[in-house]
């Protein structure tokens, strides 16, 4: 029997699953259980699967199952400390690795039920808003892992500027997210980073996100934010009070 080469993606990418050579994770699981996957087949892990689904596929294709190799993408996300996401399904990258001086790379790892996809998934591609969140997680993870380290005091990330360019669709296939540090400035109050995050798929640049963000000691940032909140509430109350007086006088 001839072997197959298939790309497996999450069930919710229904339109993409109309593309030849693709299979949903549910359908592939059933085929592995029933022995309907020819020995020697290669399964490329695309996007949309949960960690539990990926592990289940590996179990079904394991030593006691058919001779099927699962490849592509990453099986484990970067984790809460690096991504600053509290719910595992919302973690969208693997732990970044160093790829050169001030360059780092992670695999895109999208769960179809992540918060940026759960309420908006149309067409065949991954929405741009999901890619921007993956970029945010990438610069956060790189900074936490390589520029701050576990011994660093608690900090907050404050976004100063952000711009994005989308060159082509990103489909639910293996992709990478690459971080390049463009500039770093340190002072007693904060660290300022400017970076370029590039999403690549099939060796082509699909999206570029440039951002500047500030990393501030959590205690200092909390005080700054509280002062700004008080000033903003005061301004809002003053404005609405004046409008109420003017309306009454009119």
Mean pLDDT of 66-84: 85
- For the cut 60, the answer to whether the pLDDT of residue 1 exceeds it is no
The DSSP annotation for 54-69 comes to HHHHHHHTSTTS-S-E
Q: What is the C-alpha separation between 154 and 156, in angstroms, rounded?
A: 7
The DSSP annotation for 93-121 comes to BPPPEEEETTEEEEEB--BTTSTTTTT--
Q: Compute how many other C-beta atoms are within 10 angstroms of the C-beta atom of residue 56.
A: 15
Question: Do 118 and 150 meet the contact criterion of CB atoms below 8 Å apart?
Answer: no
Query: How far, in whole angstroms, is CA 186 from its chain's centroid?
Result: 27
Burial 205-239 (b: 16+ CB within 10 A, else e): ebbbbbbbbbbbbeeebeeeeeeeeeeeeeeeeee
Strand pairing category for 97-100 and 155-166: unpaired
What pLDDT score was predicted for residue 249? 65
What pLDDT score was predicted for residue 123? 87
What pLDDT score was predicted for residue 104? 98
Of 95, 86, 107, 92, residue with least CA distance to 44 = 107
Domain ranges in the chain are 5-71, 89-225
Better-scored residue on pLDDT, 248 or 58: 58
- For the cut 50, the answer to whether the pLDDT of residue 132 exceeds it is yes
pLDDT tens-place string over residues 135-155? 999 999 999 999 997 767 789
pTM given for the model: 0.89
What pLDDT score was predicted for residue 140? 97
* Widest Cα–Cα separation across the chain: 88
Where does the pLDDT of residue 210 fall: very low under 50, low under 70, confident under 90, or very high at 90 and above? very high
- 89-225 CATH, one of 3.10.129.10, 3.30.750.24, 1.10.1040.50, 1.10.3210.10: 3.10.129.10
């Amino acid at each position: 029997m001839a072997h197959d080469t298939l790309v497996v993606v999450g069930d919710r990418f229904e339109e993409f699953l109309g593309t030849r050579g693709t299979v949903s994770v549910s359908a592939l699981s059933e085929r592995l259980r029933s022995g309907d996957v020819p020995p020697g087949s290669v399964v490329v892990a695309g996007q949309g699967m949960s960690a539990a689904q990926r592990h289940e596929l590996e179990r079904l294709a394991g030593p006691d199952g058919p001779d099927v190799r699962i490849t592509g993408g990453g099986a484990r996300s970067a984790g809460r400390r690096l991504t600053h996401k509290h719910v595992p399904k919302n973690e969208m990258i693997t732990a970044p690795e160093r790829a050169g001086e001030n360059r780092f790379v992670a695999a895109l790892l999208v769960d179809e039920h992540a918060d940026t996809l759960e309420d908006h998934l149309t067409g065949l591609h991954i929405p741009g808003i999901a890619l921007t969140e993956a970029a945010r997680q990438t610069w956060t993870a790189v900074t936490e892992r390589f520029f701050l380290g576990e011994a660093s005091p608690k900090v907050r990330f404050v976004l100063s500027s952000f711009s994005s360019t989308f060159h082509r669709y990103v489909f639910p296939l293996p992709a990478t997210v690459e971080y390049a540090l463009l500039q770093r400035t340190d002072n007693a109050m904060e660290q300022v980073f400017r970076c370029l995050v590039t999403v690549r798929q099939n060796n082509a640049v699909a999206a570029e996100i440039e951002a500047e963000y500030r990393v501030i000691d959590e205690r200092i940032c909390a005080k700054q934010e509280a002062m700004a909140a008080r000033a903003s509430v005061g301004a809002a109350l003053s404005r609405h009070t004046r409008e109420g007086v003017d309306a009454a006088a009119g």
